[in-house]
């Protein structure tokens, strides 16, 4: 909605801009740094909220069981062991329910974080649109403009600043998730769980 409804984007962007611009706007002087800071805030918030909802140990156990089950089922099918395949197919619903149990907390966390993420994207859209100098260099172009389409002629004209945001946010997300998972596993081990 924020991408396609300019009025909504402007309202959300202006409201959040009154808070974020003084903190990470840098007077419009360093837009790439602003994108990096906004990306770090978004990713940190989203990842930490997701971590509160997720039980990483249970998720790892469920993935291991599901993986082992799929492997055994494929081997039984290849070996043409119809009796074993039928028994395992009856158990497949139970395995699917177990996987869904791990998936539900992700959906809950996404519902909470999307409001925050959409608001920041609205502000970034307003922020980059109002810059006097929108030129910058990135790995895919020496002379890029923050508001030009990332992929020219694409049916969904995402601006180049979204590409910069993704360059920053994807590695940060992975690093933060690994650190939070390691902390969670370490805490569980210290509590005596395996």
pLDDT by residue (tens digit) across 85-142?
888 888 888 888 887 777 778 788 888 888 888 888 889 988 998 888 888 877 777 7
Q: Does residue 68 have a pLDDT over 80? A: yes
Residue 69 CA to its chain's centroid (Å): 28
pLDDT in tens, 144-179: 788 887 777 766 678 888 888 888 788 888 899 899
Give the separation between CA 78 and CA 97, rounded to whole angstroms: 25
User: Would you say 128 and 159 are in contact if contact means Cβ atoms under 8 Å apart?
Assistant: yes
Residue that is written with structure tokens 């600043």 in the block: 161
Select from 132, 175, 122, 163 the least CA-distant residue to 36.
163
Select from 55, 67, 68 the least CA-distant residue to 102.
55
Average pLDDT over residues 73-82: 89
Q: How confident is the model at residue 24 (pLDDT cuts 50, 70, 90)?
A: very high
Angle between helices 31-53 and 160-190 (to 10 degrees): 40
Give the separation between CA 83 and CA 160, rounded to whole angstroms: 56
């Amino acid at each position: 909605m924020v991408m396609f409804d300019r009025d909504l984007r402007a309202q959300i962007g202006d409201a959040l801009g009154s808070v974020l611009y003084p903190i990470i706007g840098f007077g419009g002087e360093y837009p790439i740094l602003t994108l990096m800071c906004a990306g770090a805030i978004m990713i940190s918030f989203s990842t930490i909220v997701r971590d509160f909802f997720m039980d990483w140990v249970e998720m790892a156990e469920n993935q291991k069981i599901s993986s082992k089950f799929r492997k055994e089922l494929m081997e039984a099918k290849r070996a043409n062991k119809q009796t074993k395949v039928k028994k395992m197919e009856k158990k497949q619903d139970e395995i699917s329910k177990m996987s869904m149990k791990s998936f539900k907390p992700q959906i809950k966390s996404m519902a909470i974080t999307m409001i925050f993420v959409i608001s920041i994207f609205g502000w970034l859209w307003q922020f980059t649109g109002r810059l006097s100098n929108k030129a910058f260099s990135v790995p895919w172009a020496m002379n890029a403009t923050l508001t030009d389409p990332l992929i020219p002629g694409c049916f969904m004209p995402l601006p180049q600043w979204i590409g910069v945001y993704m360059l920053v946010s994807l590695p940060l997300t992975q690093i933060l998730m690994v650190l939070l998972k390691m902390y969670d596993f370490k805490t569980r081990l210290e509590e005596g769980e395996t």
